Structure formats: C-alpha cells, structure tokens
C-alpha cells in the first residue's frame, strides 16, 4: 500500500462536474494498493496517518497530528501510484492491485477512519476525477506499508 499525503488548507475532488468530496484544513491522501495488501496493511496505514505529525504547533514545529488540529481527511483512490516508469515511455501498472480487490480495500480503508471522529470525504473508485488542492507548506510525504 502506498499513499501520498499532502497537508492542505483546502482540497476537493470532482466527478463529472460535481464535487463529491471537499475539505478545509487537513490531509489529502492519494491511495494506491498492490498485490499482498490486506487488512493489516490498512490498519497500519490508518494509524500512521492519524498519528502523523504534519501540523505546526505554537513554535512552528511539525508536532501536531490531524487529530490534534481537528482536521479533515480526503481520501482519493489512485492506482497510478504503482505506475512503473523504469522502462519505455509509458508507465506499466502491473504492480497495481486488480480493480475489484482494490475497490473493496479502499472501502475498508475509509471505514477505519470512522472511529477517529474526523470529517472524512472520499473520491470515487474507478471514476475520472479532478482533484484540486491548496498544499499548505508545501508539505507532502510518501508512505509505503512495511
């Protein structure tokens, strides 16, 4: 499992001209799955994201998590995170999980955040989405499951 996390002051995802998810201050999480990902990977990643200290405290140090600042989450499925560009000029996506399996994992991943009591929005799996954001910092990190 791989995520690209961006600290944002606002973000939105649009499908067919309609906004399907929108947040203020929080984290935009682009999410990709590969073969071998399972419930344990989802749980590990959700806990990592909830505790990740990407927000500044009073001394302008990144010491606060999204929970600490009562932020919001926007989760967006993105299989292209597993695009392999080492050969040729067109990415190969053979490392990405098959869509039917990945869709189920994305749903489960989103459900894991319900206990955190944070506002959660999400993109639409398999849809052509337009994602807009204001990256705050900029702060962007990439996390792979162990």
Q: What is the pLDDT of residue 116?
A: 87
Q: What is the pLDDT of residue 40?
A: 97
Q: What is the pLDDT along the chain (146 residues), one digit of tens a residue?
A: 999 999 999 999 999 999 999 999 999 999 999 999 999 999 999 999 999 999 999 999 999 999 999 999 999 999 999 999 999 999 999 999 999 999 999 999 999 998 888 999 999 999 999 999 999 999 999 999 98
Q: What is the pLDDT of residue 115?
A: 81
Q: What is the pLDDT of residue 117?
A: 86
Helices 99-112, 39-51: crossing angle, 10 deg rounding = 40
Instruction: Write out the catalytic residue numbers.
Output: 78-80
26-41 confidence digits (pLDDT tens): 999 999 999 999 999 9
Distance CA 93, CA 103 (A): 16
pTM for the structure as a whole = 0.96
């Amino acid at each position: 499992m791989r995520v690209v996390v961006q600290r944002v002051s606002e973000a939105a995802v649009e499908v067919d001209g309609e906004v399907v998810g929108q947040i203020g201050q929080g984290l935009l999480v682009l999410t990709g799955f590969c073969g071998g990902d399972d419930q344990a990977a989802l749980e590990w990643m959700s806990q990592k994201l909830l505790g990740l200290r990407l927000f500044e405290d009073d001394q302008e140090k990144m010491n606060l998590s999204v929970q600490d600042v009562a932020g919001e989450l926007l989760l967006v499925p993105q299989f292209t995170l597993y695009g392999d560009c080492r050969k040729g000029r067109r990415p190969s996506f053979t490392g990405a999980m098959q869509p039917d399996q990945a869709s189920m994992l994305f749903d489960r991943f989103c459900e894991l955040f319900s206990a955190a009591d944070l506002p959660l929005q999400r993109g639409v799996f398999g849809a052509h989405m337009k994602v807009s954001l204001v990256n705050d910092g900029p702060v962007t990190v990439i996390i792979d499951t162990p």
